[in-house]
């Protein structure tokens, strides 16, 4: 025997159906007129002014790639689709990023935990049931010790201070022996030119007198 709640729901469904049937339907001409009206109102409001790419041709229209607009949307909006990848593909992508993706971690214990977690997720993915006759794709595990050694080298390169060339400049800021002081040479050149000009002026004055 139906309950009072079921009867109320049935009446509500019937009421919505009647309201939907009573709603006036728009034919194709009315829809086109409504669309034109919306466009005209948007133009008057200035919604189409200063849009990105206004007056420029659409890109990639000459390409045969049917997914060009999807790829363009991903590039334009900078969408991160890593979460949409199959698990095995995401694991492979994560593995290709080692050890560079670990360079920002300063603690070796945290690096080992990250690698152990990756290997655990690889094993968990391999335990999933196989569908179909083909062998499933798998992601490879990482060698923790080898990757940690590579991480140490990366960290050492980042923390290594810049070494100045002692043969270029001495501690006092003077050129090292055997190197030419360009700034000093330029100064003496100007002094020589001024001396020549002064001598030329003196000779010219003497000739006039």
DSSP assignment of 182-195 equals HHHHHHHHHHHHHH
Judgement on whether residues 90 and 47 belong to the same structural domain of the protein: no
Does 9 fall in a domain?
Answer: no
Q: Running DSSP on this structure, what letter comes out for residue 131?
A: -
Q: Which residue ranges in the chain fall short of pLDDT 70? A: 1-6, 21-26, 60-61, 161-195, 198-209
The pLDDT of residue 199 is 62
Does 180 fall in a domain?
Answer: no
Does 108 fall in a domain?
Answer: yes
Judgement on whether residues 51 and 85 belong to the same structural domain of the protein: no
The span from the CA of 194 to the CA of 200, in Å, is 10
The span from the CA of 33 to the CA of 43, in Å, is 15
The pLDDT of residue 125 is 92
Residue ranges making up the domain that contains 110: 81-129+136-159
The span from the CA of 31 to the CA of 38, in Å, is 11
Judgement on whether residues 45 and 109 belong to the same structural domain of the protein: no
The pLDDT of residue 177 is 53
User: What total of structural domains would you count in the chain?
Assistant: 2
Does 172 fall in a domain?
Answer: no
The span from the CA of 204 to the CA of 198, in Å, is 10
Does 86 fall in a domain?
Answer: yes
Does 65 fall in a domain?
Answer: no
Shortest CA distance to 117 belongs to which of 131, 102, 128, 132?
A: 102
Q: Running DSSP on this structure, what letter comes out for residue 161?
A: P
Does 155 fall in a domain?
Answer: yes
The pLDDT of residue 154 is 92
- Say how far residue 165 (Cα) sits from the centre of its chain: 36
Does 44 fall in a domain?
Answer: yes
The span from the CA of 35 to the CA of 29, in Å, is 10
């Amino acid at each position: 025997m139906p309950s009072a709640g079921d009867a109320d729901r049935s009446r509500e469904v019937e009421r919505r159906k009647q309201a939907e049937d009573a709603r006036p339907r728009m034919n194709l001409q009315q829809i086109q007129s409504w669309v034109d009206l919306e466009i005209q109102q948007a133009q008057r409001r200035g919604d189409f002014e200063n849009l990105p790419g206004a007056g420029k041709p659409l890109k990639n229209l000459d390409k045969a790639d049917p997914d060009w607009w999807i790829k363009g949307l991903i590039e334009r909006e900078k969408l991160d689709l890593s979460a949409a990848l199959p698990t095995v593909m995401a694991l492979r992508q994560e593995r290709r990023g080692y050890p560079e993706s670990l360079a920002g971690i300063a603690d070796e214990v945290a690096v080992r935990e990250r690698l152990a977690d990756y290997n655990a997720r690889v094993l968990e993915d391999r335990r999933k049931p196989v569908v179909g006759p083909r062998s499933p794709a798998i992601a490879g595990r990482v060698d923790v010790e080898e990757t940690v050694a590579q991480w140490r080298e990366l960290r050492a390169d980042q923390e290594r201070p810049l070494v100045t060339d002692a043969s270029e400049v001495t501690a006092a800021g003077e050129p090292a022996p055997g190197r030419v002081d360009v700034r000093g040479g330029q100064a003496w050149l100007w002094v020589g030119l001024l001396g020549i000009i002064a001598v030329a002026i003196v000779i010219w004055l003497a000739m006039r007198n």
